[in-house]
Amino acid sequence: MRFFLIDRITRWKPGKSAEAVKNIALSEDFFDDHFPLKPIMPGALILEGMAQLSGILIEEGVRIEEGRDVKALMSIVEKARFRKPAKPGDTLIYRTEVKSVNELGGRAEVKAMCGDELVAECAIVFTFHQIDNPRLDRKRSEVLALWLKGCPDA
């Protein structure tokens, strides 16, 4: 993964809901081009942060509840709306809620907030894939442990 767009998970209920924080810093390399003299976090990267949280939430729910090790890959983004730009110095709060899971995939509704203001919202549909790669599994576990460090629900 090129970008990790979550700094930490602050609320964690695997298979149900989660909340995470992303502090936006001027040093992020995407600001070099987006846009000079008026830095705005690209909407695609806000969406990616929402997908990272939602996907790992669904994966962990399936692992805990069904004992299956699946990888949730984003396949459909429904009704994406970007309401307000996110800029350096902002703290995004991603809030996601799992709406459904079956043997083929899952669906979550997710919002990105800055304070009380809605920045973006959408529903994301994930499909499950079996990926047998010990290195990927190890890296995923390391990233999740880092994100969950200090989370009272973990």
Positions annotated as catalytic residues are: 34
DSSP code string of 74-117: EEEEEEEEE-S---TT-EEEEEEEEEEE-SSEEEEEEEEEETTE
- How many CB atoms are closer than 10 A to CB 44? 11
Cα angle 106-108-109, degrees, rounded to a multiple of 5 = 160
Q: State the DSSP code for 32.
A: G
